[in-house]
C-alpha cells in the first residue's frame, strides 16, 4: 500500500514566491515591448492583465491586490517619457494620472480573486468555469475602470470627438483582444498551476 508523501513546504512561502515571480514578470513586461503593444498614436494593447489575472486566481485576493499595485505603479512610471499619451496626461494633472493608472489596476487584481472564489465553490466543474470567467473579468475591469477614470478626469482636455473615438476604439478593439488573451492563455496557465499548488500544500 503506497502512501502519498505530503509536502513540507509552507504554503505561505509558495504564495510569496509565486507573487514575487508574477510581480517580476509584470515589471519585465512593462519595460519591454511584450507588455504594451502600440496599435495607434494613442492606443496600446496591454498584456499585463494576464499575469495579474493568473496571480489573482491562483493565489487569492491579497496577492492579486499586490500584483494590481505593481501593474498600476509600473503603468504610472511609463508616463515619465515612455508613453507619449500618458506623459501628456501627467503634464495636465499628475495626481489624476496616478489615480487613473493605479486604482483600476488594484481593482483588476483584487476583484477577479473574489469572482473566482464565489464561482468555484461547489466542485471541479465550477472551478473550470470560474477560471475563464475570472481571467476575462480582469481585462474587463481594467478597461472599464481605466477608461471611466480617463473620462472623469480628462474628457475636457482631450476634446469631445477625439475622446469618444478613443473610447470606442479602445473599449472595442483593445478590450476584446485582452479578454480573448486572458481567457485562452489565462485558463491554460491557471489550470496546471492550481493543480500543482494543491498538491504542494
* Residue from 130, 164, 124, 4 nearest 56 by CA: 130
Listed in sequence order, the residues at least 6 apart from 74 whose beta carbon sits closer than 8 Å to its beta carbon are 26, 27, 30, 31, 35, 48
Residue 150 domain flag: yes
Q: Is the pLDDT of residue 33 over 90?
A: no
Cell numbers linked to 173 = 478593439
Domain count, the chain: 1
How far is residue 123's CA from residue 162's CA, in Å, rounded to a whole number?
Answer: 48
Of residues 7 and 134, the one with the higher pLDDT is 134
Q: Is residue 128 part of a domain?
A: yes
Does residue 142 fall inside a structural domain? yes
Predicted model pTM: 0.88
Task: Quote the pLDDT of residue 194.
Answer: 92
Q: What is the pLDDT of residues 142-161, one digit of tens each?
A: 989 998 898 889 877 766 56
- Mean pLDDT, rounded, of the chain: 88
Q: What is the pLDDT of residue 1?
A: 44
Assess if residue 167 is contained within a domain. yes
Burial 162-184 (b: 16+ CB within 10 A, else e): ebeebbeebeeebbebbbebbbe
Q: Is pLDDT above 80 for 85?
A: yes
| Assigned domain for 6 exists | no
Q: Which residues contact 29 (CB under 8 A, 6 or more apart)?
A: 35, 47, 48, 51
User: What's the average model confidence in pLDDT over 24-33?
Assistant: 94
Q: Which domain holds residue 147?
A: 11-200
φ/ψ of residue 45, rounded to 5: -90, 125
Domain of residue 124, CATH code: 1.10.1760.20
pLDDT band for position 2 (cuts 50, 70, 90): very low
Instruction: Provide the pLDDT for residue 45.
Output: 82
Q: Is the pLDDT of residue 35 over 70?
A: yes
Whether residue 8 is predicted with pLDDT greater than 70 in this model: the reply is no
pLDDT of amino acid 94:
96
Q: CA geometry: angle at 167 spanning 164 and 170, to 5°? A: 145
Give domain status of residue 2, yes or no: no
Q: What pLDDT does 164 receive?
A: 64
Model confidence at 41, pLDDT cuts 50, 70, 90, reads low
More confident residue, 177 or 7: 177
Domain assignment present for 158: yes
Separation CA 97–CA 181 (nearest Å)? 26
User: In this predicted model, which residue has the larger pLDDT, 189 or 36?
Assistant: 189
**47 pLDDT more than 60:** yes
Amino acid at each position: 500500500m503506497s502512501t502519498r508523501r505530503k509536502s513540507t513546504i509552507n504554503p505561505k512561502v509558495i504564495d510569496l514566491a509565486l507573487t514575487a515571480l508574477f510581480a517580476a514578470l509584470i515589471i519585465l513586461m512593462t519595460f519591454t515591448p511584450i507588455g504594451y503593444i502600440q496599435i495607434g498614436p494613442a492606443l496600446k494593447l496591454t498584456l499585463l492583465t494576464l499575469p495579474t489575472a493568473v496571480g489573482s486566481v491562483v493565489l487569492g485576493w491579497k496577492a492579486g491586490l499586490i500584483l494590481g499595485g505593481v501593474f498600476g505603479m509600473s503603468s504610472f512610471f511609463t508616463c515619465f517619457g515612455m508613453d507619449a499619451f500618458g506623459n501628456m496626461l501627467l503634464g495636465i494633472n499628475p495626481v489624476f494620472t496616478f489615480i487613473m493608472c493605479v486604482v483600476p489596476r488594484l481593482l483588476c487584481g483584487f476583484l477577479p480573486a473574489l469572482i473566482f472564489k464565489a464561482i468555484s465553490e461547489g466542485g471541479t466543474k465550477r472551478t473550470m468555469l470560474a477560471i475563464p470567467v475570472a481571467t476575462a473579468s480582469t481585462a474587463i475591469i481594467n478597461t472599464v475602470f481605466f477608461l471611466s477614470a480617463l473620462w472623469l478626469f480628462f474628457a475636457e482636455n482631450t476634446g469631445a470627438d477625439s475622446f469618444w473615438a478613443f473610447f470606442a476604439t479602445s473599449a472595442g478593439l483593445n478590450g476584446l483582444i485582452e479578454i480573448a488573451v486572458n481567457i485562452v492563455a489565462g485558463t491554460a496557465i491557471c489550470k496546471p498551476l492550481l493543480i500543482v499548488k494543491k498538491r504542494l500544500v
